[in-house]
Amino acid sequence: MSGPGEYRDTPLRAYVVTGGRAAAPGARVGVDTLLKTVPPPGGAAEPLPAEAPPQLRALLRLCAGGVLSVAEAAAHLDLPVSAVRVLVGDLVAAGRLRTHAGGLTEPGIDLLKEVLDGLRAL
């Protein structure tokens, strides 16, 4: 809870950070999508444009430390997942981030049978 005189964020912030976009074009980014920075070809990374929001820079720094999921990045940046998904799409389009499908896969029929047998045994 915020006390008197403390800064309180509003829903407008995510709208401003993403430039009013709800999704980045071409990027399919889920909550469990894993993020990793792309090593620059020449050694030194090109700087982000001057108009890039600080949250975009912070996301790039977070991902430089290792593999991070979109949900983890949202928690670190204190932004909604939907806003982080747009920022990730921007960095992927700029060639600065690589995405990998998250760990969630559809279970096979054998696993589903084992779960059902386990539930019946309860």
Q: Supply the pTM of this predicted model.
A: 0.68
Residue 30 per-residue DSSP state: -
Query: For residue 1, is pLDDT > 70?
Result: no
* Residue 72 pLDDT: 92
Query: For residue 43, is pLDDT > 70?
Result: no
* Residue (of 74, 87, 61, 94) closest to 31 by Cα position: 74
pLDDT tens digits, 26-42 = 667 888 888 998 876 66
pLDDT tens digits, 66-112 = 889 999 999 999 888 888 999 998 888 888 888 887 655 566 788 88
Strand, helix or coil at 35? Answer: strand
* Residue 40 pLDDT: 66
| Partners of 100 in beta bridges | 34
79 burial (CB, 10 Å; 0-12 / 13-18 / 19+) is buried
Question: What's the mean pLDDT in 32-57?
Answer: 76
